[in-house]
Amino acid sequence: MQRAARDALGGNNGSVVALDPRTGDIIAMYSNPTYDPNVISANQGEEAVDVKTLLDAAPSKPLLSRAYQERYFPGSTFKIVTAAAGLTSNKVTETTPDYPVVQSYTPPLTTRPIKNFDGNLCGGTLFVILQKSCNSSFAQMAAETLGPDPMIAAAEAAGFNDAPPIDLTRPATSVYPTNFGSLVSTPEGAAPVYEDTPALAQTGIGQNDVAATPLQMALVAAGVANKGRIMVPHVMSEIRARDGAVVGSYADSPWRDSMSPENAEILRRGMISVVTDGTASILALPGFDVGGKTGTAQLGLDPPQSHAWIIAFAGPTGQAPTIAVAVMVQGVDGASGSTGGRVAGPIAKQVLEAALMPG
């Protein structure tokens, strides 16, 4: 699987994370640019130090794993967390609200609209706005339907603002902001308005100060796949002494309950609908239930660049998912609504095929 992840990512800068949502077992974790550890381990003393110093100074930062030690805007993949916040708060269901079909949404306290990609009209109920990845709807959900507290609670339930307890060194903490300023007003029938409600709206679509590792977003998908429960991610299964005796082993254990099993089932079906009827159609595999969510995180550069994302889970039709995946391709030229599916989608599909259809 590690070789499959490497081959799928190819020469792209970025990373692939694949895990078993039922156990937390990491079955693939690949980061590029990479390096050859033999160059360090085969040298002694000052020579090894010199090599490591050169690698540390490299602008591409090959010694830092993009899979779990670097954070990026997650873009629209974070809409799964926003949707979970809505469902958990009981302010969003499969059928309500029915968000307006518009080209953009302007939050309170600002005149700057949050636009749908390519100026598209977008809106509707939960599954529709997931399938079409409506920026306007999810920004409005965060700012007006929910407000800060449900968003913060859902993000932290999914693992944000806490380093994942993985058995690797120095995992980065994915972050979601917790301070949106002072209360400004309490409009009837809507969430309270705070000084930074415009920023809150941006967080609903995975922008502003939201930053996540690919490992974190794989865990978001895994939580949906595993009835809301996120298991402790781990690479090792056991530790053996020199004589082969087992001196330690890793038992499967829960880390977070990201949402209720009932809400996870709603989002499981919602993510499957993104594959059957939405932006992640590239992931469809005959004989398997595949759920996904694409993301294009704009970097605010000219000419435009973005990080292309996709998160997914899959398993035999009618059975529990056996794999969850996150793919992030860094610094892709352009920023359109199709970037995540077009760039990251084929990579994720190769990884899913390798796991589910070996040989």
Residue 177 burial (10 A CB sphere; 0-12, 13-18, 19+): buried
Average pLDDT, the chain: 94
Q: Is the pLDDT score of 86 beyond 80?
A: yes
> At a CB cut-off of 8 Å and minimum separation 6, what does 249 contact?
237, 238, 239
Question: Model pTM?
Answer: 0.94
Structure token pair of residue 324: 């969850």
Domain 2-35+64-356 has CATH 3.90.170.10: no
Residue 24 near residue 330 (C-beta atoms within 8 A): no
Residue 223 near residue 256 (C-beta atoms within 8 A): yes
Please state, as a whole number, how many other Cβ atoms lie within 10 Å of the Cβ of residue 152: 21
- What sign does the CA torsion over 331, 333, 334, 340 have? negative
Contacts by residues 111-117 (CB-CB < 8 Å, ≥ 24 positions apart): 112/198, 114/139, 114/201, 114/202, 114/205, 116/337, 117/296, 117/335, 117/336, 117/337
pLDDT one-digit tens code per residue, 225-276: 999 999 999 999 888 999 999 988 888 999 999 999 999 999 999 999 999 9
Q: Which residues are catalytic?
A: 76
User: Tokens 């996904």 correspond to what residue?
Assistant: 292
Q: Average of pLDDT values for 12-19?
A: 97
Domain positions in the chain: 2-35+64-356
pLDDT one-digit tens code per residue, 298-333: 887 778 888 999 999 999 999 999 999 999 999 888
